[in-house]
Amino acid sequence: MKILALIPARLASSRFPGKPMMPILGKPMIGHVYEKVSKSLFLDKVAVATCDQQIKEYIESIGGEAIITSDKHERASDRCAEALLKIESKENIKYDIVVMIQGDEPMIHSDMIDEAVAPMLENSEINVINLMSQILNEADIQDRNCIKVVFDFNNDALYFSREPIPTRINLPNFKVYKQVCVIPFKRDFLIEYTNLSPTPLELAESVDMMRILEHGFKVHMKETSYETQAVDTQEDLIKVEKAMRKNL
C-alpha cells in the first residue's frame, strides 16, 4: 500500500485570515504540522496542498513539497483531490490511501496518522475514516468552530454539526465527541467525492463529511488517544502555543 499525506492550507480563511503562516513558538503553524506529519512511518510521501505562493515558498524553504491548487475550492477534500492527481501525474505513480490532515492542527502527533489508517488496513470495506476525541469542557461543546459528531454502535458517523449534538447532553455518563481532522480516504473514493454534488447539509454545516453521508456512504470514526486543539481563532492560537510550550 502506498500512502500519501496531504495538508490543505490557504491564507484566505474566513474565520482567521493568514492563519497557516501565523507563528507558534517562532515557527509558522503550517511548519509545525508538516514536520510532525512527516515523522509518521506509515507515509510514503507528505505534501501541502495550497493555492497560495507564500505557503508554497515557505514549505519548500524547509525542504518540503507543496502543490499549487485552484483557489476556487470550498472544501479541503476537493483541494486534496486536485493535488493528488497532480502528484500522480508528475510522478507516474498511483497511491492507495490519501490521508488529509488539516493545516490548522499544530498539536498533531505522528502516531495519530497510524491510529487513523489502521482500521482501513484491517477492513477493506472502509472508504474514509475520521479521528475523533472526547470533548471535556462546555466551552468546546458550544463553540461553532468545534465540529461535533454522533455515531452508531459500529462507530460509523450519523451526523456532524457545529451545534451541540445531541441536544440533551446532561445525561449521566454521556460522552460528547469532536471531529479531529486527520482523515484517510481510499484513493478512488477521494476522487469519487469530487464527483458527488455538494449537498444541503454539507453547505448548512460547512463540513466536508456531510456530502458523504448525504449521498449514502459511511464515514468510520476512530477515537484518538492524543489530545489536540485546532486553531480557528486568535484565541485558539494563544491557547495552543501555551499548551505546546509546556511540552517542550
* Least-confidence region, from 93-97, 113-117, 227-231: 227-231
CATH node for 3-230: 3.90.550.10
Tell me what pLDDT residue 247 has.
77
Residue of 230 and 68 predicted with greater confidence? 68
Question: How high is the mean pLDDT of the chain?
Answer: 94
Locate the domains of the chain by residue range.
3-230
pLDDT digits (tens, 9 = 90+) for 120-152: 999 999 999 999 999 988 888 899 999 999 999
Q: Residue 167, Cα to own-chain centre: how many angstroms?
A: 25
Q: Is the pLDDT of residue 170 over 70?
A: no
Give the CA distances from residue 13 to residues 8, 105, 151, 188, in Å, rounded to whole numbers and listed in that order: 12, 14, 29, 28
Tell me what pLDDT residue 60 has.
98
What is the DSSP pairing of strand 148-151 with strand 66-68? unpaired
CB atoms within 10 A of CB 154: 8
pLDDT digits (tens, 9 = 90+) for 179-209: 999 999 999 999 999 999 999 999 999 999 9
Q: How far apart are CA 159 and CA 176, in angstroms?
A: 13
pTM for the full model? Answer: 0.93
